[in-house]
Chains A and B, each alone.
Chain A
Amino acid sequence: MKQRSLLQKCLAAPHMVWTVLFIIAPLLFVAYYAFTDSEGAFTFDNILKSLEADYMVIFFRSISLAIIATFICLIIAYPMAYAISRAKPSAQKIIIMLVMLPMWMNFLIRTYSWMSILEDTGFINQLLIKLGLEPVHMINTSGAVVLGMVYNFLPYMILPIYTVMVKIDRRLVEAAHDLGCNSFGVMTKVIFPLSISGVVSGVTMVFVPSISTFYISQKLGGGNFDLIGDTIERQFQTAYNYNLGAAISLILMVLIIISMAIMNKFSDEDGGMVV
C-alpha cells in the first residue's frame, strides 16, 4: 500500500469535512429520529408504524409508478440515444443541448406548465373541443403523474446511455456486419451488451428521483396519488411528526439501496447478458 503524502491528505480534507457535515451527520440525525419517540426515548414504534398497511399501499404505489416511469423513459431514451450517437458530431452537440434545454428551466415551472396543458380546460382539451372531439380527463390521474416523471427525468436516461454509445467503436459494428450480422444482430449482439452500463446508470438516475419525488404527484395527481415523498413531506411540514417522517425516509433509503444493488448486479455480469 502506498503511503499518502501530507499534501494528498490536505487536498482530501475539504471533501472529508463536507461529507461528514452534510452527509454522515444528517444521516445520523435521520436514524436518531427514526428510532426515538417525541421524548427522545429509544423505540421501534416509528419503524413498525411505517410498515403498517396504510403506508405499505403508498410504498407499493410509489414503486410501481417509478418502475413504469423508468421503463417508459428507457423505451424512449434508448433508440433516441442510439440515433444521437450515430448523428454527425456537429448535430450531436445541438441535439444534446436540446435534450438538456428543459433542465435550464425551473422544475416547478415545468410541472406547472404541464398542469395547464393537461387540465380539463387546458391546452389539449381546448384543442380537442375546437376540433369537435370529446375532451379527455387527464389531470389528477396516475397517468399524469407518470407523464410528469417521464418528462422531468428523461434527460437523465438519455445522457448516460448516449455517453456509453458514442464511445462504442464503429469498427466493432463493421466487424459484426463483416462476420455475418444483419442490423438487428448488430443491435442485440454488440450495441446492447456494450451499452448495458449506460442503461444501468440511466435506470438508477431515473428510478431514484421518481420513487422519492413529491411535487409531481401533488400537482399532476391532485393529491389522489400520494407517494412516499409526499408522505414524508407531510410528516415534517404538516404533521410535525419528525420521528415517523424519519422512519419512512429510512425505509425508502433501504429500498433504494436494494434496487441499486440489483441494478449493479446486472452491470457486473459480463457478457451473455439478456434482459
Chain B
Amino acid sequence: MTESNAGRIIELKNIRKSFDGETVLDGINLDIHDKEFVTFLGPSGCGKTTTLRIIAGFETPDFGEVFFDGAKINDLPPYKRQVNTVFQKYALFPHLNVYENVAFGLRLGKKLKEEEISRRVKDMLRMVNLSGFERRNVESLSGGQQQRVAIARALINHPRVLLLDEPLGALDLKLRKDMQNELKNIQMQTGITFIYVTHDQEEALSMSDVIVVMNEGVIQQIGTPTDIYNEPVNAFVADFIGESNILDGVMLEDYKAKFSNQTFDCLDKGFAKGEAVDIVVRPEDVDVVPVEKGMLSGIVTSVTFKGVHYEIIVDIGGFKWMIQTTDFVAQDEHIGLYIEPDAIHVMKKSKYSDQFGDYSSFSDELDELSVNTEEE
C-alpha cells in the first residue's frame, strides 16, 4: 500500500461495462475507505447493482481496473475475494437449515473443529437476534428472519467488506426501519466496510457515511448525506434526494440570484456574471407569510395533510412550488412566501436541467408505483 491510497480499501478506476451493446457503466471512478458505510443510490437501471457485482467478482468490467488494498483484482474469482454479499431476496440454501446456512462459509477451506464452528455460528446468530433458530428450516422463516440469516452467513467469514444488494427491499416499512438501525449497529460493532445498494433515498440518508448517487451508469455526486441533501450538484441529485423545487435562474453577481422575476440574496458565489443556473429550494425551507410580507406570492392549489406538516402546492407565475408548512392554509388562499438566503442553493446547468422540479404533475402515488415495480 502506498502513501497515496492509505485507508482506501477499494478503488474503481474508469470502469466501463455494457450488456448486449447497452452501456450500463460509463466510466466509474470511486474510492471506498476502510470501515465506512457507503451507499450506492440511484433509480432502477442506474448501474448500482452492476458496480456491486463487479466488486464481488460476479461481473468483470469491460474496461478499467478494480483494486483491493492496492492490488488489482479484476481477474480474481469471487471465492478468493475478502468480500461477502447479502443478496437481494437472500439466496439462502433451501436444503440446509439455519445453522448449516450460517456455517457454510466456515466449512470450506481450512478444517475447523466442530466446537469452533458451533461457537462462531452461535455468536453470529446472537448478533442478528436469531438464537434458538439453529435447527429451523430456512423456508419456514419470515422475510425479516431470512434476512438476518443472510447477514449472519455473509459475516461469519469476517470479510473486509460486506456488500448488500437492496437487502431490505422485500420487507415491510416498519421492519425495514428496525433493520436499518440494526444494520448500522452491526456495521459499527464489527468495523467492517459496508457497501449498500438501494433506490430508497431515505434509507441512504439515515444509514450512510458516504452516499454515491448514480444515474445512467455515471456517478452524479459523492458526499456525506448532509452534503448530498444540502449541496446537490445538479437537478437530478436535487430531485432524487428529497423533495425540491428546481427553478431556472440567473446569477447576477456573487451572492445575488434572480429567479421567479425577483432578486434574492444567497450564499453561493463563483459563477460568471449573468450565468444561467438551476436554483434549488427545499419545500421545508420556505416560510409562509402574509402576501404583503412575502418575497413571492401565489395561489394555493392543493393542500395535503401529512401528519407532521401540510404539503401545499402554490402556483407562482405558472410554476408550481411544493411547500411544507405546519400552519394550515386553505386551498385557493393567496399567500406570500419568504426564503432565507441559506435556503437557496445554486447549481450549474446540466443535462438534467428542466427535467425536474415543477410539481404540476406531482403525485405520491406515482412515486410509490415506480418504487414497487423496481426490479434490477
- Tell me the A residues contacting B by CB distance below 8 Å: 169, 171-172, 174-182, 185, 189-190, 193-194, 270-271
Contacts and interface: CB of A to CB of B under 8 A. Distances in A.
Nearest to A171: B91
A271 B109 contact: no
A178 B85 contact: yes
A271 B91 contact: no
Interface string B44-69: 00000000000011100000000000
- Among all A-B residue pairs, the 5 with the closest Cβ atoms: A171-B91, A179-B105, A180-B108, A175-B91, A177-B78
A189 B105 CA distance: 11
B153 interface: yes
Interface of B: 56-58, 77-79, 83-85, 87-89, 91-97, 100, 104-105, 108-109, 153-154, 157
Contacts of B92: 175
B335 to A, nearest CB: 53
Given A178-B58, A179-B154, 15 more contacts: A171-B87, A172-B91, A172-B94, A174-B87, A174-B91, A175-B91, A175-B92, A175-B93, A176-B93, A177-B58, A179-B157, A181-B79, A194-B95, A271-B95, A271-B97
B56 A178 contact: yes
Given A174-B58, A271-B97, A179 B91 contact: no
22 contacts: A171-B88, A172-B93, A174-B56, A174-B91, A175-B85, A177-B57, A178-B58, A178-B79, A178-B84, A178-B154, A179-B84, A179-B108, A179-B153, A180-B108, A180-B157, A182-B79, A185-B108, A189-B104, A190-B93, A270-B95, A271-B97, A271-B100
A186 to B, nearest CB: 9
A177 B77 contact: yes
A40 to B, nearest CB: 54
Nearest to B97: A271
A176 B95 CA distance: 13
A176 B58 CA distance: 12
Contacts of B56: 174, 178
A175 B97 CA distance: 16
**Which of the listed residues B77, B87, B95, B100 has the most CB atoms from chain A within 10 Å of its own CB?**
B95
A172 B153 CA distance: 13
Contacts of B93: 172, 175-176, 190
B78 A271 contact: no
Contact of A174 (B78, B94, B105, B153): B78
A179 B95 contact: no
A221 B91 CA distance: 50
A179 B87 contact: no
Nearest to A273: B95
B56 to A, nearest CB: 6
A169 B95 CA distance: 13
B218 to A, nearest CB: 26
A88 B56 CA distance: 23
Contacts of B95: 193-194, 270-271
A184 B269 CA distance: 61
B87 A180 contact: no
A169 B109 CA distance: 24
Contacts of B77: 177, 182
Contacts of A189: 104
A185 B78 CA distance: 13
A171 B89 contact: yes
A178 B157 CA distance: 11
B138 to A, nearest CB: 11
Given A174-B78, A174-B87, A190-B93, A181 B108 contact: yes
**Which of the listed residues B79, B83, B100 has the most CB atoms from chain A within 10 Å of its own CB?**
B79
A172 B58 CA distance: 12
Given A171-B89, A174-B87, A179 B100 contact: no
A176 B85 CA distance: 10
A271 B91 CA distance: 16
**Which of the listed residues A178, A180, A193 has the most CB atoms from chain B within 10 Å of its own CB?**
A178
A271 B96 contact: yes
A189 B108 CA distance: 10
Contacts of A178: 56, 58, 78-79, 83-85, 154
A177 B79 contact: yes
Contacts of A177: 57-58, 77-79
Contacts of B157: 179-180
A167 to B, nearest CB: 11
Contact of A179 (B57, B58, B89, B104): B104
Contacts of A182: 77, 79
Contacts of A190: 93
Nearest to B77: A177
A194 B84 contact: no
B108 A175 contact: no
A178 B96 CA distance: 17
B91 A180 contact: no
B105 to A, nearest CB: 4
Contacts of B88: 171
Contact of B87 (A175, A181, A194, A270): A175
Contacts of B109: 180
A271 B153 CA distance: 17
Nearest to A193: B95
Nearest to A270: B95
Nearest to A174: B58
